[in-house]
Amino acid sequence: MIENLNGIHETVKYKENSNVKLFINAEAEDYPIHWHTPMEIIMPLEGGYTVQIGDDLVHLNESDIIFIASGVTHRLIAPDTGKRLILQIEWSAVSKIKEFNSILTLIAPAITLTPETSGDIHSNIRKLLLDIADEYQTDSFLSEAVIYSKMLEVLVLIGRHHTASSCNFNVGRHKQQEYLERFLSICEYIDTHCIEDITLDEIAKIAGFSKYHFTRLFKQFTNNTFYKYLNQKRIELALTLLADPNISVTETAMQSGFANPSTFIRVFKAEKGCTPTEFRKMFIG
């Protein structure tokens, strides 16, 4: 249910003094392309559901789970019958936790968990989401704290599953842990310094690897090239700046770390499917 849509930007309406919204949706209603700042988690409880991320259609079966990162444009397509759990949650309150933003990066723009592809964690995450739904509906003392604690469990499961399945560096067990911690630290460094003129050579040197070795390991860890990861972080920042009509596209480019407006426009269109000006018009409506 979209209650407040301005252009394609949804302002999520929470309960008073809350940063979490959860509802069980049984409406046979499609929702147009939109985006919002909270992460969105969707889990069909009865029947399926379809989510469009960019040009990709993700068909969810019952109990499949999709995590949609903050700022990602998406469309929801409902079947004639069915029921699904939809959770929207802001992470700004806990974003300073060590390694937290690196886990969020693994999710962007979206990830899907199914019993077939993520069997070892899927059932645990499904149970945690159902527990969160019960806690949200009970709305008792410290419910929001309980919800955040369970959602942190969910993210830890996802992060550890990813590192175990995708980041099996060809080194010994002790080196494996060292490499994981090193690349988490590197991701946090890029997140913090993305508006600066940082280069692949510089980051490889900080990480302590040759440029070739770093490039291969970074792609293995993040599933992105260094420059694609860097540009995604810059675009995330640009989205917040474009929401302010008093900041020009050129200023947005400069404040987001891009060397010039033309590069910013090209990268933005590749990431979002529209130019910054077009995006701003959709945002303003």
Type and span of the H or E element at 66: strand 65-68
Query: In the predicted model, what is the mean pLDDT of residues 64-85?
Result: 93
Domain boundary among 166, 186, 208: 166
Same-domain pairing of 151 and 41: yes
Task: Name the domain boundary from 120, 148, 166.
Answer: 166
| Same domain, yes or no: 186 and 209 | yes
Rounded to the nearest integer, the mean pLDDT of the chain is 89
The pTM score is 0.80
Tens of pLDDT, residues 151-196: 999 999 998 887 776 666 666 666 777 888 888 889 889 988 999 9
Pair (35, 138) in one structural domain: yes
Range of the domain at 198: 173-223
Q: Phi first, then psi: give them for residue 122, nearest 5 degrees.
A: -55, -50
* Token reading at 55: 């040009």
Q: Which amino acid makes up residue 255?
A: Q
The verdict on 140 and 195 lying in the same domain is no
Q: What percent of the chain has pLDDT over 70?
A: 94
If asked whether residues 161 and 179 sit together in one domain, one would say no
CATH code for the domain in which residue 256 is found = 1.10.10.60
Residue 101 sits in the same domain as residue 146: yes
**Domain count along the chain:** 3
Whether residues 77 and 53 fall in one domain: yes
- Distance between CA 217 and CA 168 in Å, rounded? 10
Q: Give yes or no: residues 188 and 280 share one domain.
A: no
Confidence class of residue 129 from pLDDT cuts 50, 70 and 90? Answer: very high
For residues 38 and 133, membership in a common domain is answered with yes
- Mark whether 276 and 261 lie in a shared domain: yes
Q: Model confidence at 39, in pLDDT bands (50, 70, 90)? A: very high
Whether 256 and 152 map to the same domain: the answer is no
Listed residues 123, 151, 166: the one ending a domain: 166
What pLDDT is stored for residue 283 in this prediction? 66
Q: Rounded to 5, what percent of the chain is helix, strand, coil? A: 50, 20, 30
The angle subtended at Cα 126 by Cα 69 and Cα 45, nearest 5°, is 90
What is the arithmetic mean of pLDDT over 2-12?
80
Distance CA 121, CA 119 (A): 6
Residue 90 belongs to domain with CATH number? 2.60.120.280
| Residue 71: band (very low, low, confident or very high) from pLDDT cuts 50, 70, 90 | confident
**Is 152 found in the same domain as 31?**
yes
